[in-house]
Amino acid sequence: MSADTGDAQSGGPIVEITGLHKAFGMLEVLKGIDVTVERGEVVCIIGPSGSGKSTLLRCVNVLEEPNSGSVVVNGFELTDPDVDIDRARRSIGMVFQGFNLFGHLSVLDNLTVAQRKVLKRDAAEAERIARENLDKVGLAEKAGAMPEQLSGGQQQRVAIARALSMQPAVMLFDEPTSALDPELVGDVLGVMRQLADEGMTMLVVTHEMQFAREVADKVLFMDGGVVVESGHPSKVIADPAEDRTKTFLSRVLNPVHASETTD
């Protein structure tokens, strides 16, 4: 990591969330969340729909403004009103459920535009890094394509490559495979697995229990705006302590059976 990405703190955790509260009007969505992500760790967030997973993730790069509590990422105190949020976001990559590739730009330009305009890299350098990352996600030959010409799985891999091209210190994923046809999920998860193996710090909201079990260093189970249970996947997923976690997992892992018994 280069010094100019604002790497103010190199020893401690890369994400440190304490006492985070977030409400939309009267609706309290996050009710005091504490999360720590160490450098190189993969943390998966699971939980039922509406439990606040996306909101939590979006508070980590301040797409949602927290109401109270503190969010420190890569040495930036994001809840400090004086923080340069655009600068802080350079070191936080984000991958969305809906890909959100820039529709008017080619795949290559999607990967270079922020490098050039935000990091002020020259065109050749930006392109070199972009092609490197396209290669990494297995789409080197799609550099000239427009996003609309790609399948959903390819678009999502381009989106991952776009985030990686900023050389972030941490990557956030919000249900990156939920919008994909089942046969395209594997490619995206494969890329994420490879990233994890290379030591990328990742915070992943997902319903892919298999992925969480195999890749995560830590799993957080969220429900009703709080972290109900957290720990190693062998604990939280394989042998949960809380009833709410058990109910959720039985629904996710065995949907047909669960819908018969829980409703």
Partner 1 sequence: MPMSPRKRAQAFRGVQYGILVLALAAVAFLADWETLGNAFFNLDAMATQFPGIITTALINTIIYTGLGFALGLAVGLVLALMKLSSVAPYRWIATVYIEFFRGVPALLVFIALGFGVPLAFQIQFDTYSTAAIALGLVGSAYIAETLRAGIQAVPKGQVEAARSLGMAQSRATFTVVIPQAFRIILPPLTNELILLTKDSSLIYLLGLLGTEYELAKFGREGMNATNSMSPILLAGLCYLLITVPLGYLSRYLERRAGRKRDEGLEVTA
Name the site residues for ligand ATP (rule: CB under 6 A). Answer: 24, 27, 29, 47, 49-55
Q: How far is the CB of 127 from partner 1 (least distance, A)?
A: 16
Q: Which does 133 bind (CB under 5 to 8 A by kind): partner 1, ligand ATP, Mg ion, none?
A: none
Backbone torsions φ then ψ of 97, nearest 5 degrees = -60, -40
Q: How far is the CB of 187 from ligand ATP (least distance, A)?
A: 22
Instruction: Confirm or reject binding of residue 121 to partner 1 (CB under 8 A).
Output: no
- By beta-carbon proximity to partner 1, the closer residue of 24 and 102 is 102
Backbone torsions φ then ψ of 209, nearest 5 degrees = -65, -35
Binding to partner 1 (CB under 8 A) within 52-81 occurs at: 61, 63
Q: How far is the CB of 8 from partner 1 (least distance, A)?
A: 16
* Interface with partner 1 (CB under 8 A), residue from 47, 52, 66, 93: 93
Write out the residues near Mg ion by the rule CB under 5 A: 54
Q: Could you tell me the two tokens for 111? A: 């990967």
Helices 123-136 & 107-117 angle (0-180, nearest 10): 130
Q: Please tell me the distance from the alpha carbon of residue 210 to that of residue 219, in angstroms, as a whole number.
A: 12
Q: Which does 52 bind (CB under 5 to 8 A by kind): Mg ion, partner 1, ligand ATP, none?
A: ligand ATP
* Interface with partner 1 (CB under 8 A), residue from 75, 138, 152, 190: 152
- By beta-carbon proximity to ligand ATP, the closer residue of 76 and 221 is 221
Q: Please tell me the distance from the alpha carbon of residue 59 to that of residue 81, in angstroms, as a whole number.
A: 14
Cross-sheet strand order for the sheet of 76-77: 27-37, 15-24, 68-73, 76-77
Secondary structure of 56-96 in HEC code, one letter for each residue: HHHHHCCCCCCCEEEEEECCEECCCCCCCHHHHHCCEEEEC
- By beta-carbon proximity to partner 1, the closer residue of 113 and 252 is 113
Q: Work out whether the CA dihedral 209, 211, 214, 215 comes out positive or negative.
A: negative
Q: Under the rule (CB under 8 A), what is the footprint of partner 1?
A: 61, 63, 86-87, 89-90, 92-94, 96, 98-104, 113-114, 117-119, 148-152, 155, 159, 162-163, 166, 179
